Amino acid sequence: MYTVADLKKGLKIILDGDPYLVVAFDFVKPGKGQALYRTKMRNMINGSLLDRTYRSGESFEPASLEERTMEYLYKEGNHYTFMDQQTYEQVVMEEETLGDAKNYLLENLKVEVMLFGEKAIGISLPNFVNLRVTETEQWAKGDTSGNDSKPATVETGYVLRVPPFIEEGELIVIDTRTGEYSTRVKG
């Protein structure tokens, strides 16, 4: 258990059953009065921010979170299944929990899955992933319209802007932090 005196930025605690990360903290104590501990916390499942003020004497349960390397297996409806290659344990996450990360999930991709108890609450991806272009318009040589990019669909169904010279079937590198095209994989 933590007490209010343990509160500081970066601490992870459980509130109303959810894991929260303390993102801001201050101690206030007006004129010989009672001490107050003001915190701003981020819900680690849905990202929402919460302001809470505590008084001395309150205590908190630490949130134990674990990150494990898992492989993405398949999608069924809006449920995505991942598996730990060592224990063969599987976890399922909803599309909503994954957010933009779903755009880069290709079968067998290795990701870091954040677990809160048994529950998977998010994943971290490699900074760059390679995905094949499945659909994009052909670049007309000598096109002088001035467009320096065009839309392309990759094998996960994600649509992004790519340079005009990219052709269907090509493998491109995407920066998962920005969602943008990074470079072409040659060969």
Q: Strand order in 65-76's β-sheet?
A: 90-94, 79-83, 65-76, 110-116, 119-124
Residue 145 touching another protein (CB under 8 A): no
Of 30 and 146, the one with the shorter C-beta distance to another protein is 30
Of 49 and 159, the one with the shorter C-beta distance to another protein is 49
Smallest distance from the beta carbon of 36 to another protein, in angstroms? 6
Alpha helices in the chain (DSSP H): 95-98
Distance (Å, whole) CA 67 – CA 60 = 22
Q: Binding residue for another protein (CB under 8 A) from 28, 92, 106, 185?
A: 28
Number of Cβ within a 10 Å radius of residue 46:
11
Q: Which of residues 154-173 bind another protein (CB under 8 A)?
A: none
Q: Which of residues 34-53 bind another protein (CB under 8 A)?
A: 34-36, 38, 53
Residue tagged 């509160």 (tokens): 7
The 59-78 contact track toward another protein, x by CB under 8 A, reads --------------------
CA distances from 35 to 10, 28, 40 (A): 21, 6, 17
Write out the residues near another protein by the rule CB under 8 A. Answer: 5, 26-36, 38, 53, 56-57
